[in-house]
Amino acid sequence: MNHAVDVKGLRKVFGRSTAVHHVDFQVKQGEIFGLLGPSGSGKTTIVKMLTGELSPTEGDVTVLGRSSERLGTSDFKTKIGILSDNSALYERLTVFDNLKLFCKLYDTPVHQIDVILRDMDLHEEGDKTVAKLSKGMKQRVLLAKALIHKPELVFLDEPTSALDPASMARIHRGLQKLNEAGTTIVLTTHNMEEATELCDRVAFLHQGEFQEIDSPAALRYAYSTHTFHVETFSGEQLVIENEPENAERMKQLIEDGRIKTMQTDHPTLGQIFLKVTGKELV
């Protein structure tokens, strides 16, 4: 199977500082792939090299079967959608006029605007001036702009940063629907819950290097300590290893009806990140 994105030995140097050190990864077609990392770890720099906005200092980038020298063509640009970290709209124009411009630039029929506004829960907002929209609405319009031409592959650089939970949930639903329809998504975030909920696979980025790359569930399993945390009705906190020799003890606790709560120890992605890099996200 062809990969949507294939990166080998990618490096980016700005002047004297190296923003991305030797990174390798693939994004499968139809996957939601998350780049996770704290501020300054190189997420935006990697995305820009995948969209053709920055040229790599070293390494091979293949996106939708095209090598990095061929990412500037109009043909490639119609196949991808981009929501940048600083994407913006024309504030004096209406939502509709903003989207109309991009419909024409991407050679998409104008009636597509109604469809996408409905998808993004924005059909009431079409005639409003962008300057009058809330932050969450603007972000959804930006997303609509990135998706209006039905790209095969979308790059979303922090699509939900600084949004309230309700707006975030709306965007997540939209992205899941989009992905179910077959669109490959590459997103960056510092929000671990978002990554756990949305991504099929995540890469942990720290100071321009990948530390881990796997599905959230696999990572959580790999970093779990394989123990049960049991709280009894008498207030005892027990830590019992998930080993055959403890089976009798567990059975006894259950039979005696002493267990109030019981949890397996699954760390969150945030805890794993801290463990791997020694650094908090955000």
Partner 1 sequence: MRIQRISAIFEKDLKDFMKNMMVALLPVTPVLMTLFFNQSGNGGLPVIMHYLIVGITFSVVTSGSIMTILAEENEKHTLRGLIQSPATLWDIIIGKSLVTGLVTVLSLAVSLFIVGIEPFLNFKIIMGIILLFLFFLLLGIGVGLFAKSVASTSAYLMIVMILFGFTPMITLLGIGEGSVIMNIIDMFPLMQVIEMHSAGTWAPLGVLTLWTAASGMFTFVCFQKVMTDD
Q: Which residues here bind partner 1, judged by CB under 8 A? A: 14, 48, 51, 53-55, 74-75, 77-78, 82, 84, 86-93, 97, 100-102, 104-107, 145
Which residues of this protein are in contact with ligand ATP, per CB under 6 A?
14, 19, 37, 39-45, 85
Write out the binding residues for Mg ion, residues 39-58 only, by CB under 5 A: 43-44
Q: What single DSSP character describes residue 278?
A: S
CA distance 95 to 82: 18
Q: Which of the stretches 37-45, 123-131, 221-229, 258-266 binds Mg ion when contact is defined by CB under 5 A? A: 37-45
- Residue 160 contacts which entry, ligand ATP, Mg ion, partner 1, none (Cβ below 5-8 A, type-dependent): none
31 token code pair: 């996957």
Q: How far apart, in whole angstroms, are the C-alpha atoms of residue 118 and residue 204?
A: 34
Binding partner of residue 92 among Mg ion, partner 1, ligand ATP, none, CB under 5 to 8 Å per kind? partner 1
The DSSP annotation for 92-118 comes to TSBHHHHHHHHHHHTT--TTHHHHHHH
Paired tokens of 244: 């055959």
Question: Smallest distance, Å, CB 208 to Mg ion?
Answer: 13
Are 144 and 137 in contact by the 8 Å Cβ rule? The answer is no
C-beta closer to Mg ion: residue 35 or 122: 35
What's the min distance (Å) between Cβ of 96 and ligand ATP? 30
Residue 85 in contact with Mg ion, rule: CB under 5 A: yes
3-state secondary structure (DSSP) of residue 198? helix
Cβ burial of 183 (10 Å; 0-12, 13-18, 19+) is buried
Provide, rounded to whole angstroms, the least separation between the CB of residue 247 and partner 1: 58
Residue 107, contacted partner among partner 1, Mg ion, ligand ATP, none, CB below 5-8 A by kind: partner 1
H or E element that contains 31? none
SS3 at position 259: strand
Single out the segment in contact with Mg ion by CB under 5 A; choices: 26-34, 51-59, 84-92, 140-148: 84-92
State the binding partner of 19 from ligand ATP, partner 1, Mg ion, none, CB within 5 to 8 A by kind: ligand ATP
Residue 105 CB, shortest distance to partner 1, in Å, is 4
Q: Which residue is nearest to Mg ion (CB)?
A: 44
Place of tokens 């039905």: 150
Interaction of residue 6 with Mg ion, rule CB under 5 A = no
Neighbours of 162 (CB within 10 A): 10
**Among ligand ATP, Mg ion, partner 1, none, residue 41 binds (CB under 5-8 Å by kind):** ligand ATP
Residue 139: name its binding partner from Mg ion, ligand ATP, partner 1, none (Cβ under 5 to 8 Å by kind).
none
Nearest-angstrom CA–CA distance, 17 and 27: 27
Q: Which is nearer to partner 1, 40 or 256 (CB)?
A: 40
Report in angstroms how near the CB of residue 100 gets to partner 1 at its nearest. Answer: 8
Contacts 24+ apart (CB under 8 A), 114-120: 116/144, 116/147, 116/148, 117/144, 119/144, 119/174, 119/177, 120/144, 120/170, 120/174
> Which region among 35-43, 123-131, 176-184, 270-278 touches Mg ion (by CB under 5 A)?
35-43
